[in-house]
Structure formats: C-alpha cells, structure tokens
C-alpha cells in the first residue's frame, strides 16, 4: 500500500511537471518567436514622417485597439498633410483602401523578407503606383485620418516578416519602435507614455 501511494505520488508529480512544461512552451513560444524575428531585423530605417524627431515617438505596439486586438504598430502623430516618406528602398507592393486603415500602402524591403505598412494616409503622393520602386526618403503619401484614425491625424506604421508566399497582407508583426530609434538610445529603457 505504501509503495502504491509512493508510485501514485510520483505519477502525479510527473504529470504536473509535464503539464507545466507544455503550458509553459505554449505561453512563451509566441513571445520568443517575436523577439527572435525582431533580433534578426538589422536594416536601419528612416523616420517615416518628415520632420518628426524620434524623441516625439512613443512605443504603441502593445496597446489595445478596439475590443481585443493588439495594435502591433507605431502611431506617429503629425499635422494633416505632413509628408510620409519611404523608410527603406523597395517596391510599392499594394495601395489598398481598408475600413480600419483607410488609404494604406504596403512596401516590401529590397530583400522581400519584410513588408512596411503605412496607414490612415490623407492621400498618396503624385505618381505613386503599385509595382514601382522607391528610394528611402521618397515622399509616398501624406498624414491623414482615413480609416479608424478618428480625429487625430497620425501615421500608423507597421512592419511584418513575410511568409514564404510573400503575401502583402500576411506576416508576423515586428515592433517598429526600437528600430526607428537612434542606435545610441536603443539600450535605454523606453520613456513613459505621455498623456
Ligand atoms: Zn495605429
């Protein structure tokens, strides 16, 4: 009887450990994947809104928008009509009008591993069209409030790692905030949110 109890106890402890390992793996896997994707992103990017200093941008990646979804992008507030520039060289993959994003633009990086997503644009710059190549710093559009931006003109800027099919609408989000910060300030802790 004592031996059976010991065995039962051993089985119970073993089960708890197995469950803990499975749950732990399930919970921590996405975070670890996201971190590794961000770690491999080594391209320096230009601030996508003209005249905005990096010190005036805050990290809005983990904020919630709407009922449950995470924001997974950086909002850069600027007056309506401020030029939006390409953060990197690459192809304009898609100009798309969506309900949440309004006038949006999807650009691929030169290696076509990442997509840059610009949303709530007031409009596109003259001559911008799908399939054209742009250079870092080229004006591609203007800050606005189209889509669900409500009354605050801002650029919603996202980066995602493309899947093997290279679909412009599909990928793993990466936090643009640390990438947009100057290299020297990347090791500092993020500033508290203003307001
Ligand atoms: Zn946003």
Q: How far is the CA of 36 from the centre of ligand 1 (A)?
A: 23
Q: How far is the CA of 193 from the centre of ligand 1 (A)?
A: 15
Q: How far is the CA of 2 from the centre of ligand 1 (A)?
A: 62
pLDDT band for position 22 (cuts 50, 70, 90): low
Q: How far is the CA of 100 from the centre of ligand 1 (A)?
A: 9
Per-residue model confidence as pLDDT tens digits over 101-122: 999 999 999 999 999 999 999 9
Q: Are strands 114-124 and 83-85 parallel, antiparallel or unpaired?
A: unpaired
Residues constituting the chain: 195
Q: What is the mean pLDDT of residues 18-44?
A: 62
Closest by CA position to 141, among listed 120, 125, 157? 125
Residue 42 has a pLDDT of: 85
Q: Is the dihedral of CA 100, 106, 109, 111 positive or negative?
A: positive
Q: In the chain, pLDDT over 70 holds for what percent of residues?
A: 76
| Cβ neighbour number for residue 155 with a 10 Å cutoff | 25
pLDDT band for position 65 (cuts 50, 70, 90): confident
Q: What is the mean pLDDT of residues 4-10?
A: 73
Closest by CA position to 56, among listed 34, 77, 72, 70? 77
Residue 1 has pLDDT above 90, yes or no: no
Average pLDDT, the chain: 86
Cβ distance 116 to 73 under 8 Å?
no
Closest by CA position to 43, among listed 170, 157, 169, 176? 176
Q: How far is the CA of 124 from the centre of ligand 1 (A)?
A: 18
């Amino acid at each position: 009887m004592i031996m059976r109890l010991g065995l039962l106890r051993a089985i119970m402890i073993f089960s708890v450990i197995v469950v803990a390992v499975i749950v732990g793996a399930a919970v921590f896997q996405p975070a670890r994947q996201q971190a590794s994707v961000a770690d491999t992103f080594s391209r320096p990017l230009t601030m996508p809104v003209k005249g905005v200093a990096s010190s005036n941008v805050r990290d809005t990646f983990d904020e919630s928008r709407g009922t449950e979804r995470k924001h997974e992008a950086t909002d850069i507030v600027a007056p309506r009509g401020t030029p939006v520039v390409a953060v990197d060289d690459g192809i304009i993959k898609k100009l798309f009008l969506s309900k949440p994003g309004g006038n949006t633009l999807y650009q691929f990086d030169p290696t076509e591993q990442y997509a840059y997503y610009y949303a709530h644009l007031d409009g596109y710059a003259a001559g911008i069209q799908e399939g054209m190549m742009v250079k870092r710093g080229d004006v591609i559009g203007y800050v606005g409030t189209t889509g669900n931006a409500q009354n605050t003109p801002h650029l919603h800027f996202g980066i995602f790692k493309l899947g093997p099919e290279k679909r412009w609408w599909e990928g793993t989000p990466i936090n643009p905030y640390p990438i947009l910060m100057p290299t020297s300030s990347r090791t500092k802790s993020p500033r508290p949110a203003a307001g």
